[in-house]
Amino acid sequence: MTRSWTLGLAERLGPGRLVVDGDILSAHARDHAQFAESGAAAALVRAREVEDVVTTLRFASRHRIPVVTRGAGTGLAGGANAQDGCILLSLAAMNRILELDLAGRTATVEAGVLNGTLAAAAREEGLFYAPDPASRDISTIGGNVATNAGGACCLKYGVTRDHVLALTAVTADGEIIQTGGKSRKNVAGLDLTRLLVGSEGTLAVVVEATVRLLPAPPPASTLVAFFDDLSGGGRGIQSMLAREHLSLVEVMDRTTVRAVEAMAPMELDTSAACMVLVQSDAESSDAVMQRCEGLATRAGASAVFHTDDPDEGKMLLKARSLALPALERMGSAFLDDVAAPVSALVELLEVCEGAGRRHDVTVGTFGHAGDGNLHPTLVFEPGNARAEARARAAFDDIVEGALALGGTVSGEHGVGSLKRPYLDRMIGRRERALMRGVKAAFDPEGILNPGRGF
């Protein structure tokens, strides 16, 4: 049966669009989420234009075949993992920047354009595309839109949703829809654009996005502070956030700092409980950093340093960019994504640390302290079933702890399949039923990424 329908779909698509080779399907079967299950896809469609997406979805809708859309596969929640018998719909080859509107400060791009490519094109024109996930050099705009991706600069500039003005998408039955527009002000009708952003491929397949660009900010000033206890670090962060308009506030716990120092010696203080990195890209950024230095010192920082030299700032931020690679050198590493109100940041750090102690798992925690979004990373012995079971138990404790603090199961990676078991406790059964009603309106046959997101 599968063989017959793949031949039918291949006939409707252009040459080279449909792939059934087992090795290629396996290579596209997963994203980067370790604990998320994946199935065996029946076929991969490599879309090169919108008509390929339309053809695939019309065919899939007619035959009720599930469709899982993917871009670069950099996700961390299993949202792009293959399901048994599905069509994997890859938009990676749809990678054209269609328009840079300098006067309107917008860009219109296909879904497969890399975030870093768009950012570089904007930078050449003196403009700035703000959303900056850690994967920006390898993740696509379509994937960023699907998960409402964040990043370090979200503190000042917001997440992907805050920068999307309009979308072109294809519904489950193959109809092209347009949402939003290039106008800065638009209050006509329900906001379908913001609904599609973060829907993880469950409502429609986003093929183009028009996003907001900003004037390029001035060079940032950077501060690094070390604290001998988590509570002091938390006080310092909260004090700086309360008094200054900052563009970035990142934190790394002792485990993470030690892993980074072992990988790339930088003379970091490995005895400190945590390291805090702060940036301001305001016109008076050096003065902001001077005030932050005083606030960090009063909060109990054991060492503080700041610079207005962009190259020195990049060197300081290198430690943060090496956090995950450094922890991965220690074993099998699973990167989590939880968030809580900034007022509960210390408690969330303690939740992560306590989960590691209770389950005898190494947990290195780092993340976006400015908006309370942390990435506790569980490190365990690869191939050791007992060690993996302990890591899973620690993972559960961390997610439950974030919820108990009034937080969320995901700050920026999405729900995918990994976090769905926690949704009833977070959003409520009635609210979840309303979400399913929206899904039914967009995708009555339920073929788009079934069982994902919500």
d(CA 105, CA 271): 46
Name the residue type at position 200.
E
Cβ contacts of 313 within 8 Å, gap of 6 or more: 219, 220, 221, 222, 279, 307
Where does 13-99 have alpha helices with state H? 22-27, 50-63
d(CA 373, CA 412): 8
d(CA 196, CA 209): 11
- The answer to whether the beta carbons of residues 14 and 52 sit under 8 Å apart is yes
d(CA 253, CA 247): 21
Alpha-carbon distances, residue 407 vs 164, 345, 402 (angstroms): 25, 10, 5
d(CA 410, CA 137): 22
Provide DSSP, 395-445. HHHHHHHHHHTT-BS-SSS--TTTSGGGHHHHH-HHHHHHHHHHHHHH-TT
Strands 127-128 and 373-380, sheet pairing: unpaired
Cβ contacts of 395 within 8 Å, gap of 6 or more: 35, 334, 336, 355, 378
d(CA 15, CA 13): 7
Alpha-carbon distances, residue 354 vs 175, 348, 350, 361, 399 (angstroms): 50, 10, 6, 10, 12
* Token digits of residue 191: 């906001």
Closest by Cα among 251, 211, 207 to 365: 251
- Where the chain has pLDDT below 50, the residues are 1
Alpha-carbon distances, residue 414 vs 174, 189, 284, 318 (angstroms): 25, 26, 36, 26
SS3 (DSSP) at 64? coil
Helix axes 345-359, 385-404, angle to 10 degrees: 150
The predicted structure's pLDDT at residue 28:
97
DSSP, res 363: E
Closest by Cα among 151, 200, 140, 135 to 416: 200
d(CA 170, CA 163): 21
d(CA 375, CA 368): 8
The predicted structure's pLDDT at residue 3:
59
Closest by Cα among 187, 185, 404, 374 to 274: 374
How far, in whole angstroms, is CA 442 from its chain's centroid? Answer: 24
What pTM was estimated for this model as a whole?
A: 0.94
d(CA 325, CA 5): 42
Q: Could you read off the pLDDT of 104-126 as tens digits, one per residue?
A: 999 999 999 999 999 999 999 99
- Report the Cα–Cα distance between both ends of the chain, in Å, rounded: 30
d(CA 203, CA 200): 8
- The answer to whether the beta carbons of residues 115 and 131 sit under 8 Å apart is yes
